[in-house]
Amino acid sequence: MTSRRVCSLVVACLLSASIAWPSLQAQERAGSPRAGWTVPRTSWGHPRIEGDYTNKDEANTPLERPAQLAGRDLTHFTDAELAELVKQRQAVARQVASGIGGAETGAGPTHWYDHLAAKGSRPWFIVDPPEGAIPPFTPAAARREAAVAALNSARNGEGRADSWNDRSLYDRCITRGIPGSMMPTIYGNAYQIVQTPDTIAIRYEMIHETRIIPLDGRPHLRPGIRQYLGDARGRWEGTTLVVETTNFTDRTHFGYNDRYNSERQKLVERFTPSGPNQLTWQVTIDDPDTYTRQWTFAMTLTRDDTQQVFEYACHEGNYGLLHILEAARAEEK
């Protein structure tokens, strides 16, 4: 768990760095199938998307448009810019990783890190609003986030540690939430999609949780039933799998910026085969208790059968949580 907390610091540093990422062609960014390529089908006729995937090459890409790219859009980045931006990105990733101390701090050896050679596929993730920025908080959400920030600053900026209940669900090896579980990070970026005629299952390596997405048209759960990963329902629109998820708790947050969602959050995800061994994953976040408008981001998932989902025995060996609490008690003394 210590290594996971250090990894989150690396991601935060990378996201705040003034660097930009390379892009795909405009057609691929939009998630449309590549020209001249036919989407494969299952034996029962659905688009075939099952397999082992990774988004490790997206690990260094910023969610929002970097300030130095103000005025640019997602469709005009050359191959030369791609090559230069990849070099910048990888250099920053190596610098941040070496500064943490690697195995000496519990972060693990650098060969664990998926992001050090990440290539990226777009300059930033947000596709709407056009300026590539997360919409402002609602007044209620701003007050909620301020209260969370006050708690987190209570103990050297690392948050309260009076009990395990003060720590995040991620610290406790329970969940990264949705869409957090799908977001790229330092390691553990493998996903397995399993497909049947009436169900899609997505298994994540980090935290090792599985989403079950019915395709049979059943209604959502009653409003009073809340789940960490929400209640997902899927359907096919042409070659795109559309997944609508509701019934969230308010105890999870978006993986890149630790902004907590409300119980009114609704996610609409679109998984579109966009080329051989490639899915474009697009997510629209509709949370009227948190943001002043809906917003959408997209990234690329790459099928790679060498990136299999390995055991992530986080909870069984979660000594990091024990040590956080012990250190807090020692600090009090």
Alpha helices in the chain (DSSP H): 2-16, 26-29, 79-100, 139-152, 319-332
CA distance between the termini of the chain: 24
Whether the Cβ atoms of residue 193 and residue 221 lie closer than 8 Å to each other:
no
What is the C-alpha to C-alpha distance for residues 303 and 310, in angstroms, rounded to an integer?
A: 16
Give residue for tokens 């981001």: 297
Look up residue 287 and give its amino acid: D
Of residues 273, 274, 275, 270, the one with CA closest to residue 297? 270
Q: Helix or strand or coil: residue 297?
A: strand
Of residues 86, 53, 72, 59, the one with CA closest to residue 202? 53
Residue 80 tokens read as 């030369």
Give pLDDT, residue 260: 84
Backbone angles phi, psi at 282, to 5 degrees: -120, 135
Domain of 287 in residue numbering reads as 2-332
Give pLDDT, residue 51: 95
CA–CA distances in Å: residue 299 to residues 5, 125, 213, 223, 317: 24, 6, 20, 30, 32
Dihedral angle sign, alpha carbons of residues 251, 254, 260, 262: negative
Give pLDDT, residue 91: 83
Whether the Cβ atoms of residue 49 and residue 271 lie closer than 8 Å to each other:
yes
The 10s digit of each residue's pLDDT in 6-39 is 344 344 444 333 333 333 444 444 456 667 789 9
Backbone angles phi, psi at 104, to 5 degrees: -65, -25
Residue 157 tokens read as 């900026």
The 10s digit of each residue's pLDDT in 45-64 is 999 999 999 998 888 888 99
Q: Helix or strand or coil: residue 302?
A: strand
Q: Give the number of other CB atoms < 10 A from CB of residue 249.
A: 18
Angle at CA 184, nearest 5°, toward 181 and 254? 50
pLDDT per position in the chain (333 positions), as tens? 444 443 443 444 443 333 333 334 444 444 566 677 899 999 999 999 999 999 988 888 889 998 888 888 887 777 788 777 777 888 887 777 766 555 545 566 777 777 787 887 888 899 999 999 999 999 999 998 888 777 666 544 456 778 877 777 887 888 889 998 999 887 888 999 999 999 999 999 988 889 999 999 999 999 999 999 999 999 999 999 999 999 999 988 776 556 789 999 999 999 999 999 999 999 999 999 999 999 999 999 999 888 788 888 887 767 888 888 888 899 889
Give pLDDT, residue 290: 94
What is the C-alpha to C-alpha distance for residues 181 and 185, in angstroms, rounded to an integer?
A: 10
Backbone angles phi, psi at 275, to 5 degrees: 170, 170
Number of domains within the chain: 1
Helix (H) / strand (E) containing 246: strand 240-246
Helix, strand, coil % in the chain, rounded to nearest 5: 30, 25, 50
Q: What is the dihedral of CA 324, 329, 332, 333, to 10 degrees?
A: -140
